[in-house]
Amino acid sequence: MFQNFKKSLVGAVALTVISTAAFAENWRGWNIHVDGYPNTIAMDKFAELLSEKTGGEVTLQMFHGGTLGSQPDAVEQVRAGALEVGNFNLGPIGPIVAEANVVSLPFVFKDVPHMFRVLDSEGGAAIAAGMAAKGLMPLAWYDAGARSFYNGEKAINTPADVTGMKVRVMNNDLFTGMIAELGGNPSPMAFAEVYQALKTGVVDGAENNWPSYESTGHFEVAGYYSLSQHLIIPECICVNTAAFEGLSADMQAAVTEAAQESALLQRELWAEREAASRVAVEKAGVVVNEVADKAPFQAAMAPVYEAYFETNPGLRPLVELIQATD
Protein backbone atom coordinates (compact mmCIF):
# COMPACT_ATOMS: atom_id res chain seq x y z
CA MET A 1 0.00 0.00 0.00
CA PHE A 2 2.78 2.33 1.03
CA GLN A 3 4.73 1.16 -1.99
CA ASN A 4 1.79 1.95 -4.24
CA PHE A 5 1.38 5.37 -2.72
CA LYS A 6 5.07 6.05 -3.25
CA LYS A 7 4.84 4.89 -6.83
CA SER A 8 1.87 7.07 -7.62
CA LEU A 9 3.54 10.03 -5.93
CA VAL A 10 6.60 9.56 -8.08
CA GLY A 11 4.31 9.27 -11.07
CA ALA A 12 2.52 12.49 -10.19
CA VAL A 13 5.78 14.36 -9.71
CA ALA A 14 7.11 13.05 -13.01
CA LEU A 15 3.89 14.07 -14.73
CA THR A 16 4.09 17.58 -13.32
CA VAL A 17 7.66 17.96 -14.53
CA ILE A 18 6.73 16.73 -17.99
CA SER A 19 3.68 18.93 -18.25
CA THR A 20 5.55 22.05 -17.07
CA ALA A 21 8.27 21.33 -19.61
CA ALA A 22 5.71 20.72 -22.33
CA PHE A 23 4.04 24.07 -21.69
CA ALA A 24 7.18 26.12 -21.04
CA GLU A 25 7.61 28.90 -23.55
CA ASN A 26 11.24 29.64 -24.29
CA TRP A 27 11.26 33.03 -25.94
CA ARG A 28 14.10 34.75 -27.74
CA GLY A 29 14.52 38.51 -27.63
CA TRP A 30 16.23 41.13 -29.78
CA ASN A 31 17.92 44.30 -28.56
CA ILE A 32 20.23 46.58 -30.52
CA HIS A 33 22.15 48.12 -27.63
CA VAL A 34 25.47 47.33 -25.98
CA ASP A 35 26.18 46.10 -22.45
CA GLY A 36 25.51 48.67 -19.77
CA TYR A 37 22.97 50.61 -21.88
CA PRO A 38 19.74 51.24 -19.93
CA ASN A 39 17.66 49.12 -22.33
CA THR A 40 20.10 46.22 -22.16
CA ILE A 41 19.99 46.16 -18.37
CA ALA A 42 16.21 46.58 -18.34
CA MET A 43 15.63 43.82 -20.91
CA ASP A 44 17.79 41.46 -18.83
CA LYS A 45 15.65 42.44 -15.86
CA PHE A 46 12.55 41.67 -17.93
CA ALA A 47 13.92 38.17 -18.62
CA GLU A 48 14.63 37.63 -14.94
CA LEU A 49 11.19 38.88 -13.83
CA LEU A 50 9.51 36.80 -16.52
CA SER A 51 10.92 33.54 -15.12
CA GLU A 52 10.12 34.61 -11.58
CA LYS A 53 6.56 35.77 -12.16
CA THR A 54 5.55 32.92 -14.46
CA GLY A 55 7.17 30.27 -12.27
CA GLY A 56 9.41 29.34 -15.20
CA GLU A 57 6.54 28.81 -17.62
CA VAL A 58 7.82 31.65 -19.79
CA THR A 59 11.55 32.23 -20.16
CA LEU A 60 13.44 34.69 -22.32
CA GLN A 61 16.90 34.50 -23.76
CA MET A 62 18.08 37.97 -24.76
CA PHE A 63 20.38 38.67 -27.71
CA HIS A 64 21.89 42.12 -27.32
CA GLY A 65 24.01 44.32 -29.57
CA GLY A 66 21.89 43.68 -32.68
CA THR A 67 23.48 40.22 -33.10
CA LEU A 68 20.21 38.90 -34.55
CA GLY A 69 20.11 41.52 -37.28
CA SER A 70 19.03 45.07 -38.05
CA GLN A 71 15.98 46.61 -36.43
CA PRO A 72 13.70 46.55 -39.51
CA ASP A 73 14.54 42.85 -39.95
CA ALA A 74 13.97 42.08 -36.28
CA VAL A 75 10.58 43.83 -36.37
CA GLU A 76 9.59 41.49 -39.20
CA GLN A 77 10.92 38.47 -37.34
CA VAL A 78 8.85 39.27 -34.26
CA ARG A 79 5.78 39.85 -36.40
CA ALA A 80 6.32 36.48 -38.07
CA GLY A 81 6.99 34.72 -34.77
CA ALA A 82 10.57 33.73 -35.70
CA LEU A 83 11.50 35.75 -32.59
CA GLU A 84 9.06 36.41 -29.78
CA VAL A 85 10.36 39.62 -28.22
CA GLY A 86 11.96 42.89 -29.30
CA ASN A 87 12.90 46.15 -27.65
CA PHE A 88 11.96 48.36 -30.56
CA ASN A 89 11.98 52.05 -31.27
CA LEU A 90 8.63 53.01 -32.80
CA GLY A 91 10.41 54.80 -35.67
CA PRO A 92 11.02 51.67 -37.75
CA ILE A 93 7.56 50.32 -36.79
CA GLY A 94 5.77 53.33 -38.28
CA PRO A 95 5.96 52.13 -41.90
CA ILE A 96 4.11 48.95 -40.85
CA VAL A 97 1.62 50.37 -38.34
CA ALA A 98 0.00 53.64 -39.40
CA GLU A 99 -1.25 54.46 -35.87
CA ALA A 100 2.24 53.97 -34.43
CA ASN A 101 3.68 56.38 -36.97
CA VAL A 102 2.09 59.41 -35.30
CA VAL A 103 4.90 59.37 -32.69
CA SER A 104 7.43 59.82 -35.49
CA LEU A 105 5.96 63.09 -36.70
CA PRO A 106 8.63 65.70 -35.96
CA PHE A 107 7.82 67.91 -32.95
CA VAL A 108 4.53 66.11 -32.26
CA PHE A 109 5.32 65.87 -28.53
CA LYS A 110 6.19 68.87 -26.38
CA ASP A 111 8.57 66.85 -24.25
CA VAL A 112 9.06 63.35 -22.82
CA PRO A 113 6.49 63.70 -19.99
CA HIS A 114 3.93 64.78 -22.62
CA MET A 115 4.75 61.67 -24.64
CA PHE A 116 4.15 59.42 -21.63
CA ARG A 117 0.87 61.19 -20.80
CA VAL A 118 -0.31 60.46 -24.34
CA LEU A 119 0.87 56.85 -24.20
CA ASP A 120 -0.94 56.33 -20.89
CA SER A 121 -4.23 57.60 -22.32
CA GLU A 122 -6.61 56.98 -25.20
CA GLY A 123 -3.95 57.87 -27.77
CA GLY A 124 -1.62 55.20 -26.42
CA ALA A 125 -4.42 52.64 -26.50
CA ALA A 126 -5.05 53.39 -30.20
CA ILE A 127 -1.34 53.04 -30.98
CA ALA A 128 -1.10 49.78 -29.01
CA ALA A 129 -4.18 48.33 -30.72
CA GLY A 130 -2.75 49.16 -34.14
CA MET A 131 0.52 47.46 -33.25
CA ALA A 132 -1.14 44.37 -31.76
CA ALA A 133 -3.21 43.95 -34.92
CA LYS A 134 0.03 43.85 -36.94
CA GLY A 135 1.62 41.19 -34.74
CA LEU A 136 3.56 43.46 -32.36
CA MET A 137 1.94 43.57 -28.94
CA PRO A 138 3.48 46.40 -26.87
CA LEU A 139 3.58 45.45 -23.19
CA ALA A 140 5.40 48.50 -21.84
CA TRP A 141 6.95 51.75 -23.04
CA TYR A 142 10.60 52.70 -22.66
CA ASP A 143 12.05 56.21 -22.67
CA ALA A 144 14.32 57.15 -25.57
CA GLY A 145 14.59 60.86 -24.81
CA ALA A 146 14.73 63.39 -27.61
CA ARG A 147 16.75 63.08 -30.81
CA SER A 148 18.96 65.92 -31.99
CA PHE A 149 21.25 66.52 -34.97
CA TYR A 150 24.98 65.95 -34.93
CA ASN A 151 27.69 66.26 -37.53
CA GLY A 152 31.41 66.80 -37.92
CA GLU A 153 31.39 70.26 -39.46
CA LYS A 154 29.43 72.89 -37.60
CA ALA A 155 26.78 73.75 -35.05
CA ILE A 156 23.25 73.62 -36.47
CA ASN A 157 21.08 76.57 -35.48
CA THR A 158 18.69 77.02 -38.39
CA PRO A 159 17.24 74.85 -41.16
CA ALA A 160 19.66 76.54 -43.55
CA ASP A 161 22.50 74.87 -41.64
CA VAL A 162 21.12 71.47 -42.70
CA THR A 163 20.88 72.46 -46.36
CA GLY A 164 23.11 70.29 -48.51
CA MET A 165 24.02 68.03 -45.60
CA LYS A 166 23.82 64.27 -46.01
CA VAL A 167 22.06 63.03 -42.90
CA ARG A 168 21.50 59.43 -41.82
CA VAL A 169 17.97 58.62 -40.67
CA MET A 170 16.14 55.49 -39.53
CA ASN A 171 14.01 53.72 -42.15
CA ASN A 172 10.81 55.72 -42.35
CA ASP A 173 9.47 58.10 -45.01
CA LEU A 174 8.65 60.64 -42.32
CA PHE A 175 12.35 60.97 -41.53
CA THR A 176 13.49 61.20 -45.13
CA GLY A 177 10.75 63.82 -45.65
CA MET A 178 11.92 65.69 -42.56
CA ILE A 179 15.52 66.00 -43.83
CA ALA A 180 14.42 66.83 -47.37
CA GLU A 181 12.20 69.67 -46.09
CA LEU A 182 15.22 71.10 -44.29
CA GLY A 183 17.12 71.05 -47.58
CA GLY A 184 19.34 68.11 -46.66
CA ASN A 185 19.93 64.73 -48.32
CA PRO A 186 18.38 61.97 -46.24
CA SER A 187 20.19 58.66 -46.08
CA PRO A 188 18.26 55.79 -44.46
CA MET A 189 20.71 53.31 -43.01
CA ALA A 190 20.95 50.61 -40.35
CA PHE A 191 22.15 51.78 -36.93
CA ALA A 192 25.20 49.49 -37.03
CA GLU A 193 26.53 51.15 -40.19
CA VAL A 194 26.37 54.75 -39.03
CA TYR A 195 29.76 54.96 -37.31
CA GLN A 196 31.68 53.96 -40.45
CA ALA A 197 29.47 56.12 -42.63
CA LEU A 198 30.22 59.17 -40.48
CA LYS A 199 33.89 58.33 -40.30
CA THR A 200 34.36 57.86 -44.03
CA GLY A 201 32.15 60.79 -45.02
CA VAL A 202 29.41 58.66 -46.60
CA VAL A 203 27.14 60.85 -44.48
CA ASP A 204 27.91 64.23 -42.89
CA GLY A 205 25.67 63.81 -39.91
CA ALA A 206 22.98 61.85 -38.12
CA GLU A 207 20.51 62.35 -35.31
CA ASN A 208 19.94 60.55 -32.05
CA ASN A 209 19.56 60.89 -28.29
CA TRP A 210 22.46 61.42 -25.87
CA PRO A 211 22.96 57.77 -24.81
CA SER A 212 23.03 56.41 -28.38
CA TYR A 213 25.31 59.24 -29.57
CA GLU A 214 27.70 58.34 -26.79
CA SER A 215 27.46 54.52 -26.63
CA THR A 216 28.03 54.09 -30.38
CA GLY A 217 31.09 56.35 -30.38
CA HIS A 218 29.45 58.61 -32.98
CA PHE A 219 30.65 61.58 -30.93
CA GLU A 220 34.23 60.63 -31.83
CA VAL A 221 33.56 61.21 -35.53
CA ALA A 222 30.82 63.87 -35.38
CA GLY A 223 31.72 66.37 -32.69
CA TYR A 224 28.95 68.97 -33.01
CA TYR A 225 25.71 68.13 -31.19
CA SER A 226 22.88 70.64 -31.70
CA LEU A 227 19.85 70.40 -29.43
CA SER A 228 17.11 70.48 -32.06
CA GLN A 229 15.11 67.81 -30.19
CA HIS A 230 13.00 67.31 -33.30
CA LEU A 231 11.90 63.75 -32.54
CA ILE A 232 10.68 62.24 -29.28
CA ILE A 233 9.93 58.61 -30.05
CA PRO A 234 9.05 55.98 -27.46
CA GLU A 235 10.30 52.42 -27.48
CA CYS A 236 8.44 49.26 -26.56
CA ILE A 237 8.86 45.84 -25.16
CA CYS A 238 7.00 44.16 -27.98
CA VAL A 239 5.89 40.54 -28.03
CA ASN A 240 4.61 38.56 -30.99
CA THR A 241 0.84 38.92 -30.64
CA ALA A 242 0.02 35.25 -31.21
CA ALA A 243 2.66 34.12 -28.68
CA PHE A 244 1.18 36.48 -26.09
CA GLU A 245 -2.40 35.56 -26.83
CA GLY A 246 -1.55 31.88 -26.64
CA LEU A 247 -0.81 32.28 -22.93
CA SER A 248 -3.40 31.80 -20.18
CA ALA A 249 -4.89 34.96 -18.66
CA ASP A 250 -2.76 34.48 -15.54
CA MET A 251 0.42 34.12 -17.56
CA GLN A 252 -0.47 37.16 -19.69
CA ALA A 253 -0.88 39.19 -16.51
CA ALA A 254 2.46 37.96 -15.16
CA VAL A 255 4.26 38.75 -18.43
CA THR A 256 2.72 42.22 -18.58
CA GLU A 257 3.66 42.91 -14.97
CA ALA A 258 7.26 41.87 -15.69
CA ALA A 259 7.36 44.23 -18.68
CA GLN A 260 5.93 47.14 -16.70
CA GLU A 261 8.46 46.66 -13.90
CA SER A 262 11.25 46.49 -16.45
CA ALA A 263 10.04 49.79 -17.93
CA LEU A 264 10.10 51.50 -14.53
CA LEU A 265 13.72 50.45 -14.15
CA GLN A 266 14.56 51.50 -17.72
CA ARG A 267 13.15 55.00 -17.19
CA GLU A 268 15.22 55.50 -14.03
CA LEU A 269 18.38 54.24 -15.72
CA TRP A 270 17.59 56.36 -18.75
CA ALA A 271 17.47 59.59 -16.78
CA GLU A 272 20.85 58.82 -15.22
CA ARG A 273 22.46 57.77 -18.50
CA GLU A 274 21.18 60.79 -20.44
CA ALA A 275 22.92 63.09 -18.01
CA ALA A 276 26.06 60.94 -17.80
CA SER A 277 26.36 60.63 -21.60
CA ARG A 278 26.20 64.37 -22.04
CA VAL A 279 28.89 64.92 -19.43
CA ALA A 280 31.08 62.24 -21.01
CA VAL A 281 30.93 63.58 -24.56
CA GLU A 282 31.44 67.17 -23.45
CA LYS A 283 34.47 66.05 -21.55
CA ALA A 284 35.72 64.39 -24.74
CA GLY A 285 35.47 67.74 -26.54
CA VAL A 286 32.06 67.66 -28.17
CA VAL A 287 30.64 71.12 -28.92
CA VAL A 288 27.03 71.30 -27.76
CA ASN A 289 24.68 74.09 -28.72
CA GLU A 290 21.10 74.91 -27.79
CA VAL A 291 18.87 75.73 -30.74
CA ALA A 292 17.51 79.07 -29.56
CA ASP A 293 14.63 79.19 -32.03
CA LYS A 294 13.03 75.90 -33.01
CA ALA A 295 10.08 77.58 -34.74
CA PRO A 296 11.69 77.61 -38.23
CA PHE A 297 12.38 73.86 -37.93
CA GLN A 298 8.78 73.25 -36.86
CA ALA A 299 7.38 75.43 -39.65
CA ALA A 300 9.44 73.53 -42.22
CA MET A 301 7.66 70.30 -41.17
CA ALA A 302 4.22 71.40 -42.49
CA PRO A 303 4.60 69.45 -45.77
CA VAL A 304 5.64 66.33 -43.82
CA TYR A 305 2.38 66.52 -41.85
CA GLU A 306 0.37 67.20 -45.02
CA ALA A 307 1.85 64.18 -46.80
CA TYR A 308 1.12 62.06 -43.73
CA PHE A 309 -2.53 63.15 -43.62
CA GLU A 310 -2.90 62.60 -47.33
CA THR A 311 -1.84 58.96 -46.94
CA ASN A 312 -3.63 58.50 -43.59
CA PRO A 313 -6.69 60.77 -43.54
CA GLY A 314 -8.22 58.71 -40.74
CA LEU A 315 -5.37 59.52 -38.36
CA ARG A 316 -5.88 63.26 -38.17
CA PRO A 317 -8.01 62.91 -35.00
CA LEU A 318 -5.23 60.94 -33.29
CA VAL A 319 -2.70 63.66 -34.07
CA GLU A 320 -5.15 66.31 -32.87
CA LEU A 321 -5.74 64.31 -29.69
CA ILE A 322 -1.99 64.28 -29.05
CA GLN A 323 -1.72 67.99 -29.70
CA ALA A 324 -4.69 68.66 -27.39
CA THR A 325 -3.25 66.55 -24.56
CA ASP A 326 -1.73 68.82 -21.89
**CB closer to ligand GTR, 86 vs 159:** 86
Tell how strand 224-231 and strand 147-151 pair up.
Answer: antiparallel
**CB closer to ligand GTR, 77 vs 209:** 209
Please report, as residue ranges, which positions from 162 to 191 form the binding site for ligand GTR (by CB under 6 A).
170, 191
Q: How far apart are CA 318 and CA 90, in angstroms?
A: 16
Supply the Cα-derived Rg of the chain in whole angstroms: 22
Q: Which stretch binds ligand GTR (CB under 6 A): 12-20, 76-84, 176-184, 207-215?
A: 207-215
Q: How far apart are CA 236 and CA 142, in angstroms?
A: 6
State the minimum distance, in angstroms, from the CB of residue 214 to ligand GTR: 11
Q: Which stretch binds ligand GTR (CB under 6 A): 72-80, 157-165, 204-212, 306-314?
A: 204-212
State the minimum distance, in angstroms, from the CB of residue 144 to ligand GTR: 5
Site string for ligand GTR, 208-247 (x = CB under 6 A): xx--x----------------------x------------
DSSP state of 285: T
State the minimum distance, in angstroms, from the CB of residue 318 to ligand GTR: 22
**CB closer to ligand GTR, 89 vs 256:** 89
Please report, as residue ranges, which positions from 118 to 137 form the binding site for ligand GTR (by CB under 6 A).
none
Strands of 38-112, DSSP E: 58-63, 85-89
Q: How far apart are CA 198 and CA 176, in angstroms?
A: 17
**CB closer to ligand GTR, 54 vs 176:** 176
Beta carbons of 43 and 262 less than 8 angstroms apart: yes
Q: How far apart are CA 134 and CA 239, in angstroms?
A: 11
Distance between first and last Cα of the chain: 72
Please report, as residue ranges, which positions from 60 to 119 form the binding site for ligand GTR (by CB under 6 A).
71, 89, 91
Mention every residue, 6+ apart, whose C-beta is less than 8 A from residue 79.
96, 134, 135, 136, 240
Residues that bind ligand GTR (CB under 6 A): 32, 71, 89, 91, 144, 170, 191, 208-209, 212, 235
